[in-house]
Amino acid sequence: MNRPLPTRARTLASEVNAAMESEPSAAGPAEPQRSQRRASDRPQRPRTMTSTEEIDNTITRPGSVRINVKGAFIVDPDTSTPAPGLAQGTGNDRGSPTHRETSDIRLPNHTAVVSHIAVDIGGSLIKLVYYSREVDSTDPGGRLNFQIFETDRVDDCVEYMKHLRDKQLELNGSQHGALCVMATGGGAYKFYDKIRDALGVDVLREDEMECLIIGLDFFITEIPREVFTYSETDPMHFVSPRENIYPYMLVNIGSGVSILKVTGPRSYQRVGGTSLGGGTLWGLLSLLTGANTFDDMLEQAATGDNAKVDMLVGDIYGTDYGKIGLKSTAIASSFGKVFRIKKAAEAGAANGIQEDTSTTDVGFTDGDISRSLLYAVSNNIGQIAYLQSQIHNLSDIYFGGTFIRGHRQTMNTLSYAIKFWSKGEKQAYFLRHEGYLGAVGAFLKRQPINWGRRGSFEANDDLANWRKSHKGGVAA
Looking at the Cβ atoms of 6 and 452, the one nearer to a copy of itself is 6
Ranges of H-type helices in 392-457:
408-422, 437-445
Q: Phi/psi of residue 245, each to 5°?
A: -110, -15
- Rounded Cα gap, residues 144 and 146, in angstroms: 7
Q: How far is the CB of 447 from a copy of itself (least distance, A)?
A: 20
Contact 42, 135 (CB under 8 A): yes
Burial 271-283 (b: 16+ CB within 10 A, else e): ebbbebbbbbbbe
Contact 109, 122 (CB under 8 A): no
Length of the chain measured in residues: 476
Contact 209, 412 (CB under 8 A): no
3-state SS class at 279: helix
Q: How far is the CB of 249 from a copy of itself (least distance, A)?
A: 13
Beta sheet of 125-133, edge-to-edge order? 73-74, 105-107, 142-150, 125-133, 116-121, 180-184, 202-205
CB atoms within 10 A of CB 47: 11
Q: How far is the CB of 209 from a copy of itself (least distance, A)?
A: 6
Looking at the Cβ atoms of 67 and 362, the one nearer to a copy of itself is 362
Q: How far is the CB of 398 from a copy of itself (least distance, A)?
A: 19
Looking at the Cβ atoms of 319 and 460, the one nearer to a copy of itself is 319
Q: How far is the CB of 300 from a copy of itself (least distance, A)?
A: 15
85 secondary structure, DSSP code: -
Looking at the Cβ atoms of 301 and 345, the one nearer to a copy of itself is 345
- Rounded Cα gap, residues 386 and 393, in angstroms: 10
Burial class (CB in 10 A: 0-12, 13-18, 19+), 301: buried
Q: How far is the CB of 212 from a copy of itself (least distance, A)?
A: 12
| β-pair type (427-431, 396-400) | parallel
Looking at the Cβ atoms of 84 and 382, the one nearer to a copy of itself is 382
- Rounded Cα gap, residues 66 and 113, in angstroms: 9
Contact 63, 217 (CB under 8 A): yes
Looking at the Cβ atoms of 30 and 287, the one nearer to a copy of itself is 287
Looking at the Cβ atoms of 327 and 340, the one nearer to a copy of itself is 340
Q: How far is the CB of 422 from a copy of itself (least distance, A)?
A: 12
Q: How far is the CB of 426 from a copy of itself (least distance, A)?
A: 13
Q: How far is the CB of 201 from a copy of itself (least distance, A)?
A: 20
Q: How far is the CB of 248 from a copy of itself (least distance, A)?
A: 18
Provide CB contacts within 8 A for 37, sequence distance 6+.
Answer: 22, 24, 27
Amino acid at 48: T
Q: Phi/psi of residue 246, each to 5°?
A: -95, 155
Q: Phi/psi of residue 379, each to 5°?
A: -60, -45
